[in-house]
Amino acid sequence: MAASGLLLVLFLFAHMAGNLKIFVGAASFDHYAHWLRDIGTPLLPRTWYLWLQRVGLTAAVVAHIASAAVLARRARAARPVRYAHRPKVQGSYAARTMRWGGVIILLFVVFHVLDLTTGTLNPVGDAQHPHANVVADFAPSRWYVTLFYTLAIVAVGFHLRHGIFSALRTFGQQSPRGEHRARAIALVLSVVLVVGYLSVPFAVLSGLVS
Ligand code: HEM
């Protein structure tokens, strides 16, 4: 769970940093998107690295979901007799929403790839001009798209807050002082990620990026 999650978190930060290029300008953002296809050349043929990354990320998502299923089965087996009375509040909001948060994120990624990678659901959908695709996506008239992105990105933030905290424990953090530090690290990283991602749709919505 922690190892596949770490790979996905690395992708999330790299992707967020790349998205921020939109504030440099359309040419810079488009150049960056085209460069993604050139990574690894001339050692590898064009787009090979991108496809290796796609295969790696898909494997990480499958491993992440499979580990979640194994852990859930183990937890059920450890308590075969259900609690007669189970107190409602258990753990943080982030911890209690891991399963449904994960489902929302998965559905979002499917929508997002059809929107900005294949262009199928995008009003412009021009692979040569990703900046134009993003600007068209978050136009004020398509407020519901921005709303969906916002919900999904906030879900990513909650998922990450609990996920990073749990991963730090898996990777060896055990002391009470370390626990405070782990909580703080998880919170700061999640907030940076959410603000970084949300800055793009809201910059388009407000006219800062056009
Ligand atoms: C407002 C926030 C976001 C923006 C503006 C954005 C923008 C983009 C763009 C422009 C692409 C196409 C890149 C290209 O092929 O040239 C893309 C691809 C992608 N994005 Fe995002 N993204 C955002 C949030 C996210 C989030 C939160 C996730 C994951 C939970 C994500 C996962 C992906 C994936 C998996 C791809 C496909 C990469 C590939 O082609 O292999 N994105 N995004």
Q: List, for residues 74-103, the tens digit of each pLDDT value.
A: 988 988 787 777 766 667 887 888 899 999
Q: What is the DSSP letter of 119?
A: -
Cα dihedral angle (46, 47, 53, 56), rounded to 10 degrees?
-100
Query: Which pLDDT value is given to residue 24?
Result: 97
Atom of ligand 1 nearest to the CA of 201: 1
- CA gap 62, 24 in Å, rounded: 35
pLDDT at 193 > cutoff 80: yes
- CA gap 184, 206 in Å, rounded: 31
Mean pLDDT over the full length of the chain: 94
Residues whose CB is less than 8 angstroms from the CB of residue 181 and which lie 6 or more positions away in sequence, other chains included: 173
Query: Which pLDDT value is given to residue 122?
Result: 97
Torsion over CA: 120, 203, 17, 168 (sign): negative
Ligand 1 first shell, C-beta below 6 A? 15, 19, 33, 36, 50, 54, 105, 109, 112-113, 116-117, 130, 134, 149, 153, 156, 197, 200-201
Query: Which pLDDT value is given to residue 97?
Result: 86
Query: Which pLDDT value is given to residue 82?
Result: 78
Out of 117, 153, 198, 204, give the residue to mutate to test ligand 1, the one with the largest number of ligand atoms within 8 Å of its CB. Answer: 117
Query: Which pLDDT value is given to residue 81?
Result: 81
pLDDT at 128 > cutoff 70: yes
This model's pTM is above 0.85: yes
Residue nearest to atom 35 of ligand 1 (CA): 109
If one counts every other C-beta atom within 10 angstroms of the C-beta of residue 34, the result is 12
